[in-house]
A = this chain, B = another copy of it.
Amino acid sequence: MENIPIFRTPDEMRAWSHEKHNQGKVIGCVPTMGALHEGHLSLIRACAKDCGETIVTIFVNPIQFAPDEDFEKYPRNEKEDLSLAFGAGATAAYCPSVATMYGGDPSVFVIEEKMTKCLDGLSRPNHFRGVLTVVAKLFNATNPDRAYFGLKDYQQILLIKQMVHDLDFPVEITGCPIIREPDGLAMSSRNRYLLSAERKDALCLSKAIDAVTKMFNNGERQTRNLEWLARTIIESASTSKIDYISTRDAEDLSPVKDIEKPTLFALAIYIGTTRLIDNTVLTPVKEEQ
Chain A residues at the B interface, C-beta cutoff of 8 Å: 10-11, 14, 22, 104-115, 132-133, 136-137, 140-141, 159, 162-163, 165-170
Contacts and interface: CB of A to CB of B under 8 A. Distances in A.
B132 A108 contact: yes
- Please tell me how many copies of the chain the complex holds: 2
A66 to B, nearest CB: 17
15 contacts: A22-B22, A106-B165, A107-B112, A107-B162, A108-B111, A108-B132, A108-B159, A108-B162, A108-B163, A108-B165, A110-B167, A136-B168, A137-B167, A140-B169, A141-B168
A239 B104 CA distance: 43
Nearest to A102: B166
Contact of A107 (B11, B22, B113, B141): B113
A272 to B, nearest CB: 35
A93 to B, nearest CB: 17
Given A108-B162, A165-B104, A170 B114 contact: no
B10 A108 contact: no
Contacts of A137: 166-168
Nearest to A171: B140
A250 B111 CA distance: 27
A170 to B, nearest CB: 6
A154 B265 CA distance: 48
B113 A110 contact: no
A19 B166 CA distance: 24
Most chain B CB neighbours (cut-off 10 Å) among A110, A112, A167: A167
Contact of A140 (B106, B132, B162, B168): B168
A105 B162 CA distance: 10
A141 B166 CA distance: 12
A143 to B, nearest CB: 9
A112 B104 CA distance: 14
B107 A114 contact: yes
Contacts of A10: 168, 170
Nearest to A252: B105
Nearest to A117: B107
Contact of A111 (B22, B109, B114, B170): B109
Nearest to A22: B22
A140 B169 CA distance: 6
